[in-house]
Amino acid sequence: MKLEESKEKTKTVKENKEVCDMDGKKIVKLKKSLFISFLFIVFLFFKGYAQENKGGETKQPPPLTPEEMEIAKKIFFDRCAGCHGVTRRGATGPALLPENRTRLLGTEGLKVFITYGTPRGMPDWGRQGILSEKEIDILARFLQHEPPPPPELSLAEMKETWKVYVPPEKRPKEPQHKRNWQNFFGIVLRDVGKVAIVDGDTKELVNIVNTGFAVHILRASATGRYFYSIGRDGRVTLIDLWANPPDKVAEVKVCNDARSVDVSKYEGKGVNFKDKLSIVGCYWPPSFVILDGQTLEPLKIVSTSSYTYDTNEFLREARVASIVASHHDPLWVVNVKETGQIWLVDYSDIKNLKITMIEAERFLHDGGWDLSKRFFIVAANMRNKLAVVDTLTKKLVSLVEVGNKPHPGRGANIDHPKFGPIFCTGHLGDNTVQCIGTDPKKKPEYAWKVVVKVELPGEGGGNLFIKTHPNSPHLWVDRPLNPELSNKIFVLDKFKFEVKKEIEVPKEYAGARFVHLEYNKNGDEVWVSVWGRKDQPTAILVFDDKTLQLKHEIKGDWVITPTGHFNVYNTMKDIY
């Protein structure tokens, strides 16, 4: 019985591998880890056997001082909660509850996992030197105790963290510099909690802004004037690109753990919501928070704790995975990960807030608009599907089966000569790129069906982002979570889907991975992060999209752990 359990555990970990890694954890090389894992399974088997012969008594948790409890809570929140959930009930990683799991593994067993990781997802915190032996010991003991109740965060507490550095009335009425700010790039310097603003025309560093811890994404405001950044620690930063230099003008912490931010983009019918409101999606507390778009004053919190769409079980920890703003309506699309519900939030009157709760599929992750920006398409990564929502009728249109763990990022839209407009996704769990038709009126025979399925070279998935641009003939694909291919990007013809070029990380960045692709405003350059540890040489490489040749290397002491990088114009207009 115990052997089965440990097998099941291994299976669960495998299934969850790549999704965890999306949060940017260091990947474990398959080959090196397999042997350790094998040894550990043998260890578990004998441990379980011994346990069973002791009569299967429930173990008591090992002692933990109040100080150690505080240390462990912080480590768990920073390093583990993203995958295992802050209440440890499991999400993209397995549950870590005392009964039947952590107390069975015991301190020594847990230390092995934390130190060496698992082949398919759990990072090797000890081996990487991110956690010390002492910290791992504390964490292993902590995990055998019942999870402490995680902290709440009320509006009053948020307001204590709220700072307006430059109030709206003191901000300039026009750009204070001559730069082409619509072609600025915001580059996340993940492990130092900073965002670099780089001039897309000149490739010059314009400024470095202190932001929240491990910024997950940036979103350009509806006018493009501002960047909103969201840190994993729930800190939102508002960066004014018209200032000279561009710098932060406000910030506030509205979650203990967060992944998404967006802005109100709608203008029409006599109202203009552009840059008026902002929204943050929290992992913990499970909620979204509506803020003043100009000052970041938190205005309203809405809980996303709710029932799974299919089995109707209550999840306190139903997290906001991603958010996009509509261009056609005063609407945010809020993807509630674990419940499989897509919430359309009408922000036109936040005191009488309208939400349409659409039953879709689990676990909702990342997605984007179709070419017309009427349909929103999102990955349900545990069920290998794309969910399509019609934001006009506010209904689910289709669930389309694609490959193993689709991860579109925001996807890639192509106006195809045969299929009409199509939306493409890559996959975490296989080496395909798949595209679905998105025009039910003019191309009903292709709508919401897979019309393209192409295999990339090399085995395994590990893709996080694919990207194209209306002005480009190409589709770019990264593979940062594929241990064998993380140093490569693949450039495809966007109509024929043939691989035109494989590009490798230059030797000077050996050991680093390619991740995240972004076009410049004109759509004739592609910017790619070369992402490595803090002590590795890293850079942003700029490729000419016509010749597919390296055109420029953005590097320097300040380029530390660069991950996502966002072009103002393309982000503002949702061009992908």
- Residues designated catalytic: 80, 83-84, 122, 365, 407
> At a CB cut-off of 8 Å and minimum separation 6, what does 328 contact?
266, 268, 373, 374, 391, 392
User: Could you tell me which residues are beta bridge partners of residue 260?
Assistant: 281
In this structure, are residues 462 and 424 in contact, taking their beta carbons and an 8 Å threshold?
no
Q: Does residue 392 touch a copy of itself according to CB under 8 A?
A: no
Q: Does residue 279 touch a copy of itself according to CB under 8 A?
A: no
Q: Does residue 387 touch a copy of itself according to CB under 8 A?
A: no
In this structure, are residues 554 and 539 in contact, taking their beta carbons and an 8 Å threshold?
yes
CB of 322 to a copy of itself, least distance (A): 19
CB of 142 to a copy of itself, least distance (A): 19
Q: Does residue 301 touch a copy of itself according to CB under 8 A?
A: yes
Q: Count the site residues for a copy of itself by CB under 8 A.
A: 32
Q: Which of residues 332-351 bind a copy of itself (CB under 8 A)?
A: 349, 351
Q: Which stretch binds a copy of itself (CB under 8 A): 67-75, 148-156, 196-204, 226-234?
A: 148-156
Q: Which of residues 477-536 bind a copy of itself (CB under 8 A)?
A: none
- At 162 the three-state DSSP class reads coil
Q: Does residue 152 touch a copy of itself according to CB under 8 A?
A: yes
User: Ramachandran region of residue 225, left (φ > 0), alpha (ψ -120 to 50) or beta?
Assistant: alpha
For helices 30-53 and 2-22, give the axis angle rounded to 10 degrees. Answer: 140
3-state secondary structure 514-544: EEEEEECCCCCEEEEEEECCCCCCCEEEEEE
Q: Does residue 57 touch a copy of itself according to CB under 8 A?
A: no
User: Cβ closer to a copy of itself: 117 or 285?
Assistant: 285
Q: Which of residues 195-254 bind a copy of itself (CB under 8 A)?
A: none
CB of 60 to a copy of itself, least distance (A): 16
- Using CB under 8 A as the criterion, what x/- string covers residues 100-139 for binding a copy of itself? ----------------------------------------
Q: Does residue 356 touch a copy of itself according to CB under 8 A?
A: yes
Q: Does residue 145 touch a copy of itself according to CB under 8 A?
A: no
Q: Which stretch binds a copy of itself (CB under 8 A): 165-173, 209-217, 303-311, 421-429?
A: 303-311
User: Cβ closer to a copy of itself: 10 or 391?
Assistant: 391
> At a CB cut-off of 8 Å and minimum separation 6, what does 355 contact?
302, 343, 344, 345, 346
What number of other Cβ atoms are within 10 A of residue 460's Cβ? 20
Q: Distance (Å, rounded) from C-alpha 160 to C-alpha 98?
A: 35
CB of 161 to a copy of itself, least distance (A): 14
Q: Which of 306, 413, 431, 487 binds a copy of itself (CB under 8 A)?
A: 306
Q: What are phi and psi of 418, to 5 degrees?
A: -95, -50
Is the bond into 245 cis (omega within 30 degrees of 0)? yes
CB of 391 to a copy of itself, least distance (A): 11
Q: Does residue 357 touch a copy of itself according to CB under 8 A?
A: yes
Q: Distance (Å, rounded) from C-alpha 239 to C-alpha 216?
A: 15
In this structure, are residues 466 and 409 in contact, taking their beta carbons and an 8 Å threshold?
yes
Q: Which residues bind a copy of itself (CB under 8 A)?
A: 152, 154-156, 285, 287, 298, 300-303, 305-307, 311-314, 316, 349, 351-359, 394-396
